Structure 1
Amino acid sequence: MTLESLSNELLLDLFELFDAVNLLRAFSGLNTRFNSLLYTDVRSYRVDLRSISKEDFNILYPAYLPLISNRIIYLRLSDDEDTPCQCVYFQSTGFTLSRFDNLRSLTLSSFSSDLNLNQYFFSDLHELHNLTNLKFVHCRLYHFHVEDFRDVIDQIWKLPKLSHLYWDFTFKYERHFSMPTYLSTSLQYLTIRNYNCCSYDFSRLFEKTPRLRKFFISSNSDEDDDLPFSHEFLPAPQSLSVTRLILLSIRSLPLMTSLFKLLPSITRLKVEIYSITLDGHQWKEMIVNYLPQLKDFQFKIDLGYEPWMFHDEALSHIQLTNIEKLSLQLPIDQQFFSIIPKLENLLSLTVAIPTENHRLQLQALLDRAPRLFALAFKFCVTSAMPPYRYTSSSICRLDLQGYDPSRRRHRYDIRQCMELSRSSIGIQCRILAIEVEKPKCILQLIYSMLNLRTLHVSYENDKRSNQYDLVKVLQHYLPSTWSITRFCYGHIIIQS
């Protein structure tokens, strides 16, 4: 049986298993039938541009995107280290968000402080009339004030079908969210990260979001003055609809108490707090006084691993089997593996290796982590750095900007860069962060690491006063398929 012998219905079902980029690259232009299926019969596309290569990105935009833009229901753009400057490229093509008139879910991830990116990128958000989910994930716009985004926030609150909003922005100075002036008739699930606010803001926010059901907030505010229980903190009809509350990184007891007073209908509460000391009796008093309908209470604290802690019989049975991110210093004892017996879900590992004797322990950890994507060295003896001997079939990101016992960063010379590029872990590396001794090392890495797509390189002598600009020198010697961005003097990002 050949692929072309399948019915159109089966092919359309098969197409749903592909992301849009790979689907179009594989089948577009094969013949008239496939083109008809792709550009007429496929009803919706999901386009996730995380980890897409620059080459594929440049093919997607002019060749495919104009043909499917009105059928894209999910779009994710990313400016993370695997795809730096992607949002700027998107803006430079002349494409605007309003072209995606059937878009239901939009995620913008890791927007950075690139001066070429401006708030006009968001100017037509209000035209996304079918949008139900909007996420801004880890967006860091340090050259903007939050006041520059007041209009964007108002556009969001006016979207007629938007039910889910995830807001994770960091702007210049401390304020990272501005109060909307419009009332949302649709928003039900709201997440605000890094919300440095005062208690009075909440009543205004709930007033503008009367259909809110679930509220997630993280705040670094250390507001410590007691606030009066005035009429402003009495439950309003607009806040009675909120039944789920998640508080992350809360440091202010008055802030938390004010929220409880405002939201007496909470049935599910999840709390992660810092610098607030409350015993069980105080928690019980708060729940009885302010949250009479509470049925489900989850409480989270930060816990650093210390072997002596688990000698306590009450803690000895604890096992952590779903660890995704782990930071540790070698050596580790056998009790560690009784507490963390499985590393199948580990995605990111940061290690400190104080002596060469503990190198085998790290390899044992790598052998237990089949899904490990990122490996970083926080501190390492020079003899164990770089990691030529380590092996792992899954690691794609290496951060080798660790410190030696003298608290100096290890700088790779031309020989070490060659050895790294020939090592097992270097051959498969896609994202590399490293400090080098000479510009020649950068060229060595680019030309010898065949799978490398993004290089974050630190070079101490990259200075404004230099006669030759390092970026221009690299542009001269590298193929045009590589883009070169100076994040700051001494730190350059190179991407293919």
Structure 2
Amino acid sequence: MVVSKLESLPSELVVEISDYLDACDLYRAFYGLNHRINTILDHQCHRLNVNFIHISKNQFDFCCTRILPRIATRITSLTLPGSNSSTPGLLPQFLVYFKSLGTIFIHLLSFKLVEFTKSDVEILVPHLHQLVYLRNLSIGGYTRLMPFNINTNELFQEHVVLPLSLRSLAFPYEISDRWIQTSNSTLSIEQLHVTSIYIDTLISFMQRFPRLNRLTTVLSEPGESDLIAENIPGSTIMFQSLRYLNLNIVSDVSFSQFASFLRHVPQLHTLIIEALNPDVLFLDAHQWEANLSANLSSFHFDLTITSLVGFDHLSLLKPFKSDYWTSRGWFVQCRTRDRGRFFRLSTSQSPIINLLYWPDDEILLDSKSIIRYPHVTHVELWWNLSKSTQSICPHVRSIQFYGANNGEIETIHPNVRDLLNTSSFEHIIIDNNVPISPTRLAHLLAKSSDRVHILTCSTHWLYSLFKTKDNEWICLLLTMRIRKLILNNTNLVLSYADLIAFARTFINLQEISIKLVSVEEMAFLLNILRQLTMASIELPDTELRNITNLTQWILENTVFRDFTIEKRAGGLDSSKILLWIGSHNRTNLYGTEHQLYSNHPIIKEKILENYL
């Protein structure tokens, strides 16, 4: 009898492994192997997690009818997809299978619903109060939304009854006077994400959550009420528990309203703000200094102005360079475009430093003193490399380049030349939205150290490289220098002709991350790129539907014999194939020469055209 390695593991380790696996996958994979494993799964695994994201309807039905009835009382975490997912209808069906959540999932601590509609939430809400031990409820997620992405028709404007045991809540609320009037109870929630809160109801809303220490939301313009924060009864109360505040503030919210609220949170430690065309006082350093809590240790903001009102950017930025800001490590930058008609005022996120100049020759970060940043590993640079702050980054590993293509090659600032030749520098990133030209990349590679071997770019950028015959010398340079390629834009895939140019250019790649449209293309690249040690390839699920054994498919269609393969979820309708490739001495060269190449559509088409 063959004894598996799992059989020899201590019971405690098997239980710990179960904490990291989906319970349905765990039981489908291991239950029934032997009596010992069955006993461990049934009697020692008491904290099971179930996640129905990216599951087929057949698998869902199997889990709900065969596995969940056996383990329901031991499930502590449950995640379900809503009607906006790739598998709509699972939530209503789940509530058909399990009509009383509170009497079945008696130890459920965490429940999450993703990609939902309002109707999904409406059918779920009546079941939630039954879950008396539920501590974490997430309808959506805890990531703050942008105001223009909010559909108010999908929000709840009235209070809904939730378990009193909750400590963490994400819910699609729109908090207005209407909500305040329907809620007169307090909850012990400590972490809260709601979609939108009207500024004039913020104080009253906070009074419902006296233990709240983290709040994430969009702060909206005043609702129908004529009240303002200062006149709300009980508004003198201090919210001593609030430590973390993450906000997107719409343009109609005045700074005075927001500052009034800040005076009620004296223990605030972290404040994160994003705003588009905010009240002009949000851009005033002195206003912030007068209203921020002395206990605030982390302050990040990103304020974007697109109006045509002129600003003196240097005067605007200067107060943010005072000791008040620099002594706290709050470094503020101003990025402008279109000669100041568009600009962003934001804090720099350590350990990333932005040395970013828009092409209107406004130098806003210029400094005559040399500053050393020993912990910086990533830098962003505009194409105009003759401009630079005097920053020294001895441990920089990657540089992201932005740039407009004007056909000229800029003189590189000596400080930037030092960056390019830093011993740790290995990775060039080309921005997707404002990319540098292929010629400029070649110029940078020529000035960089030989250690640069990683390139991140978009498929669009590669297309622009391949379409011009004059770029062949740049392709040759990439062949010589690049050993790892990451394609981070998925809106465009390479054509067959581009794939040939791609394979020729990157013939020496050792690692690749790419999106393809067919398994034939995957086989073509894997057979051409003989130096690969790792590949991450995203493919449509429709291409993989008929492949039941990926390992066998790789053996039959590529040269590789020594490899490890893993399939992971990609997008909504795609999957990622991760391939780790071992020794290249064990290859199927005969199969490659006589079958694999000649059967590929690209090769077959050229043979028919030229030789038959």
Bin of the TM-score, shorter chain as denominator length: 0.5 to 0.7
Cα distance in 2 between the residues matched to 1:26 and 1:421: 29
Correspondent of 1:37 among 25, 37, 40: 40
Cα distance in 1 between the residues matched to 2:216 and 2:430: 22
Q: Give a deviation string over 1:395-449, Cα, whole Å, max 9, x none.
A: 5866x8xxxxxxxxxxxxxxxx7965865599954546xxxxxxxxx8x896689
Corresponding residue for 1:253?
254
- TM-score, with length taken from structure 2: 0.53
The alpha-carbon deviation at position 336 of structure 1 amounts to 8.6
SS at structure 1 position matched to 2:15: helix
Cα distance in 2 between the residues matched to 1:232 and 1:272: 26
Confirm or deny: 8 A CA contact 2:109 2:136 kept in the other structure: yes
Cα distance in 1 between the residues matched to 2:206 and 2:572: 44
Confirm or deny: 8 A CA contact 1:141 1:170 kept in the other structure: no
Q: Is it true that 1:206 corresponds to 2:206 in the alignment?
A: yes
The alpha-carbon deviation at position 249 of structure 1 amounts to 5.4
Cα distance in 2 between the residues matched to 1:94 and 1:446: 30
Cα distance in 2 between the residues matched to 1:71 and 1:32: 20
Corresponding residue for 1:294?
296
Corresponding residue for 2:593?
none
Q: Is it true that 1:355 corresponds to 2:469 in the alignment?
A: no
Matches within 5 A, 1:273-312: 273-276=275-278, 282-289=284-291, 291-300=293-302, 307-308=382-383, 311-312=386-387
SS at structure 1 position matched to 2:198: coil
The alpha-carbon deviation at position 350 of structure 1 amounts to 7.6
SS at structure 2 position matched to 1:215: strand
Confirm or deny: 8 A CA contact 1:321 1:343 kept in the other structure: no
The alpha-carbon deviation at position 222 of structure 1 amounts to 9.3
The alpha-carbon deviation at position 212 of structure 1 amounts to 1.4
Which amino acid is 1:45 matched to? L
Q: 1:381 to 1:312 in 2, by over 3 A?
A: farther
Cα distance in 2 between the residues matched to 1:314 and 1:253: 34
Q: Is it true that 1:230 corresponds to 2:230 in the alignment?
A: yes
The alpha-carbon deviation at position 362 of structure 1 amounts to 11
Cα distance in 2 between the residues matched to 1:218 and 1:392: 45
Matches within 5 A, 1:9-408: 9-79=12-82, 85-94=89-98, 97-98=101-102, 99-112=104-117, 117=120, 119-137=122-140, 145-147=154-156, 150=158, 153-156=159-162, 159-167=163-171, 169=172, 178-179=179-180, 181-193=183-195, 195=196, 197-219=197-219, 221=221, 230-232=230-232, 235-237=235-237, 239-248=239-248, 250-251=250-251, 252-254=253-255, 256-276=258-278, 282-289=284-291, 291-300=293-302, 307-308=382-383, 311-314=386-389, 327-328=432-433, 330-332=435-437, 333-334=440-441, 351=460, 355-357=464-466, 367-369=484-486, 375-377=489-491, 384=498
Confirm or deny: 8 A CA contact 1:431 1:452 kept in the other structure: no
Cα distance in 1 between the residues matched to 2:170 and 2:483: 34
User: How many residue pairs are counted as aligned between the two chains?
Assistant: 411
The alpha-carbon deviation at position 73 of structure 1 amounts to 1.1
SS at structure 2 position matched to 1:127: coil
Confirm or deny: 8 A CA contact 1:78 1:111 kept in the other structure: yes
Q: 1:344 to 1:146 in 2, by over 3 A?
A: farther
SS at structure 2 position matched to 1:35: helix
The alpha-carbon deviation at position 187 of structure 1 amounts to 0.7
Q: 1:72 to 1:362 in 2, by over 3 A?
A: farther
Cα distance in 1 between the residues matched to 2:6 and 2:546: 38
Higher RCO structure, 1 or 2 (CA under 8 Å, sep 6+): 1
The alpha-carbon deviation at position 65 of structure 1 amounts to 0.9
Which amino acid is 1:185 matched to? L
Confirm or deny: 8 A CA contact 1:268 1:294 kept in the other structure: yes
* Higher deviation after alignment, 21-30 or 201-210: 21-30
Structure 2: which 5+ runs fail to align? 305-334, 336-343, 345-355, 359-381, 401-428, 469-474, 527-534, 551-566, 575-612
Structure 1: which 5+ runs fail to align? 401-416, 433-441, 458-496
Q: 1:396 to 1:181 in 2, by over 3 A?
A: farther
Q: 1:227 to 1:53 in 2, by over 3 A?
A: same
Cα distance in 2 between the residues matched to 1:386 and 1:96: 58
Q: Give a deviation string over 1:378-407, Cα, whole Å, max 9, x none.
A: 699997599986999775866x8xxxxxxx
Percent identity, please. 19
Q: 1:144 to 1:424 in 2, by over 3 A?
A: farther
**Larger radius of gyration, structure 1 or 2?**
2
SS at structure 2 position matched to 1:230: helix
SS at structure 1 position matched to 2:170: strand
Cα distance in 1 between the residues matched to 2:213 and 2:231: 22
Cα distance in 1 between the residues matched to 2:386 and 2:220: 34
Cα distance in 2 between the residues matched to 1:343 and 1:81: 39
The alpha-carbon deviation at position 354 of structure 1 amounts to 6.2
The alpha-carbon deviation at position 61 of structure 1 amounts to 1.8
- TM-score, with length taken from structure 1: 0.63
Cα distance in 2 between the residues matched to 1:136 and 1:293: 32
* Higher deviation after alignment, 230-239 or 59-68: 230-239
Cα distance in 2 between the residues matched to 1:178 and 1:350: 47
